[in-house]
Structure 1
Amino acid sequence: MKAATLGIAEKGVFGDPAPSSVYDSAQNAKAGAESPLSPIADVDKSPVLGHIAESGATFHELGVSHGLRGVLARHGEQFMVLQVTPDGEAAVAGVQTDLSVLKLRLIAGGQVTDLGSSHGLQGLFVRNGSQFQVLYATPDGERTIPGVMWDAKGVNVTRTQVASIAGAVPTVVVGKDVDGGATPGGVKKAAIDVVAETAFGTLGSASAPRLWVFIDPLCSYSVKAMQALQAFVSKGQVQVAVIPVSLLDYEDQGRSTPAALAMLSKPADLMALAWMRGDLNGPAASESAPKLNANMAAAEAIGLRGTPTLIWRKANGSEGRLDGLPEDWNAVISSMGGENHADFAR
């Protein structure tokens, strides 16, 4: 996602490419025949599609199945299958499965938690050992959709629904050494001061201006941010300080937290490289959990809305911040000026 907890709020529902959905119309197609997809002409009549369209995405019809309109959204080489809710105000990023609500309850029994109805779709939280998944039922209850719901304002509805379930969304445990960004006098710290106290890994020259980046290791837009920054790092224009947090456990079946712990188990100068190479195997170090707690507390202190989130000191001494991917990386880097990060951040 462009911002892990934002998705379409930051002009993108596009994460890792989703598999093609299986719809009744596709099942009735002749073997080996490819039916051209029709572009959607009434985007303006669906608030959620209109919001996504602001990113430059295009849409094609996938047909109506079990009371839901299937839509293929494309942006460049990326695509995502969406199930638009009956009111047009939200969409679930996912594909319909053959599992009905009744079968799901028979299989999972007491491991299913009802999340209530939102935008006409019943939400179901299913726990399987240490893993979990959110599914949405089609209006007729005959199909379920593993996925995340976003509304037309960019709100992650799923995250809100699972927030009260223990372990679904990582919680912050604030200890004596982490004050949530407030000074003894009650004055809130600046974000640039908060990030300096996090556990982070660096990539690039220590003499270059530092760009702090909150990332979820399994957020595809965090990965894209790092890929974009490598060119600036190689030229000595910036040093990137990567701050691992775990925001997507409710979405990736609890895999973000172990990945963040694995990153924080690495030495600071190897943390970013290990993440970029996918080298996040092995047991977490005992000190990694307190470090993740501290990073989550820092995220809460600055009002983190999603990943990636960028924090930097501008050339004029003011603070720069951007939630999500910038439209112009050059503008961000040039605004940092030439000052060494140590002049301000330490």
Structure 2
Amino acid sequence: MSRTVRIATACLLGLALGAFGALAQAQPWPAPIRSIEDKGVTIVGQFDAPGGMQGFAARAGDRPVALYLTPDGEHVIVGTMLDADGENVSKPKLDALVKTPSRADAWAELEQAHWIGDGDDDAPRTLYVFTDPNCPYCHKFYEAARPWVEAGAVQLRHIPVGILKPTSEGKAAALLAADDPEEAMRAHENNYRSGGIEPMEDIPEERREQVAANNQLMSRVGVRGTPGIFYHDSAGEVQVKQGVPRGELREEILGPKPD
């Protein structure tokens, strides 16, 4: 008999990153819970729930999510459970089990990622940028940042991910595997409109794992689209911008435009 999955509060699942979300280590979860995990939601732990149900704490990107397995073990409900007084009984469980990484913690993880430097190592500003080689908005940001990078004011640290197209993984792997990754990134962006770097067809396991690790990191720090830009604001706090920054925000991220 086929198992069915009833989904409540479907908008929560829209937060998941699909096939390129973080993958939890294999666990013997019931089939309805595994079906949610397969959508890119990371299962963190279990807890006792009212009504004979079993609760599961999960994370979709940087958002905690409660899952409830029905007593028959055949269905899962996704969403918030309220008691007779209208109190949220899910939140305390999620707060206890799901630790959302702070942006400062995320910055420390980004430093350890598989990134490609772009610009002066001694630049006064460093930005980490999740970049898909097939992303037109990543290319726009690359071009927009040239005055700052070329003036030595900013170093971009591109974290190649493979999420948009079938060739994205191979292109990201080719960038990471290049003898001179910075030059390879530059050549790719300069030839972006004609296809950029050729994707690796037979990707070595090491490079495949590096791209997968970048994909997983992107999900873990809550970035749902590229470019995902991490930077320090004027107060020294870590901030994140998804998409191409414009106007005053661009100068907040990159600094005053060089003369």
Shorter chain as denominator, the TM-score bin is 0.5 to 0.7
Q: Is 1:313 aligned to residue 232 of structure 2?
A: yes
Give distance in 2, aligned partners of 1:273 and 1:286.
25
Give distance in 2, aligned partners of 1:225 and 1:290.
26
Q: Is 1:298 aligned to residue 217 of structure 2?
A: yes
Q: Is the 8 A contact 2:173 2:208 kept in 1?
A: yes
SS for the counterpart of 1:322 is strand
Partner of residue 185, structure 2: 272
Deviations 1:270-329 (A, max 9, x none): 342243142334553442111112111211111112001110123432112111111122
Deviations 1:246-293 (A, max 9, x none): 2213xxxx2222222222222443342243142334553442111112
Q: Is the 8 A contact 1:213 1:308 kept in 2?
A: yes
SS for the counterpart of 1:287 is helix
Aligned-residue RMSD, C-alpha: 3.5
Q: Structure 1 counterpart of 2:173, which letter?
A: L
Inter-CA distance 331–313: structure 2 relative to 1 (3 Å threshold): closer
1:332 to 219, 239, 253: 253
Higher helix share: 2
Partner of residue 206, structure 2: 287
SS for the counterpart of 2:153 is coil
Give distance in 2, aligned partners of 1:287 and 1:173.
17
4+ long deviations beyond 6 Å: 179-182
1:188 to 88, 101, 104: 101
Q: Is the 8 A contact 1:192 1:313 kept in 2?
A: no
| Cα distance, 1:222 vs structure 2 | 0.7
Give distance in 2, aligned partners of 1:315 and 1:330.
11
Aligned pairs, number: 166
Identify unmatched segments of 5+ residues in structure 1.
Answer: 1-152, 164-168, 336-346
Give distance in 2, aligned partners of 1:205 and 1:174.
36
Taking every aligned residue pair, what percent have the same amino acid on both sides? 23
Structure 1 residues 231-270: aligned runs within 5 Å: 231-249=147-165, 254-266=166-178, 267-270=180-183
Partner of residue 12, structure 1: none
Q: Is the 8 A contact 1:201 1:270 kept in 2?
A: no
Give distance in 2, aligned partners of 1:186 and 1:171.
17
2:115 to 189, 194, 200: 200
Q: Structure 2 counterpart of 1:320, which letter?
A: Q
Inter-CA distance 279–247: structure 2 relative to 1 (3 Å threshold): closer
| Cα distance, 1:234 vs structure 2 | 0.7
Give distance in 2, aligned partners of 1:323 and 1:299.
11
Q: Is 1:170 aligned to residue 20 of structure 2?
A: yes
| Cα distance, 1:239 vs structure 2 | 0.5
Q: Is the 8 A contact 1:200 1:268 kept in 2?
A: no
| Cα distance, 1:241 vs structure 2 | 0.5
Q: Is the 8 A contact 1:265 1:285 kept in 2?
A: no
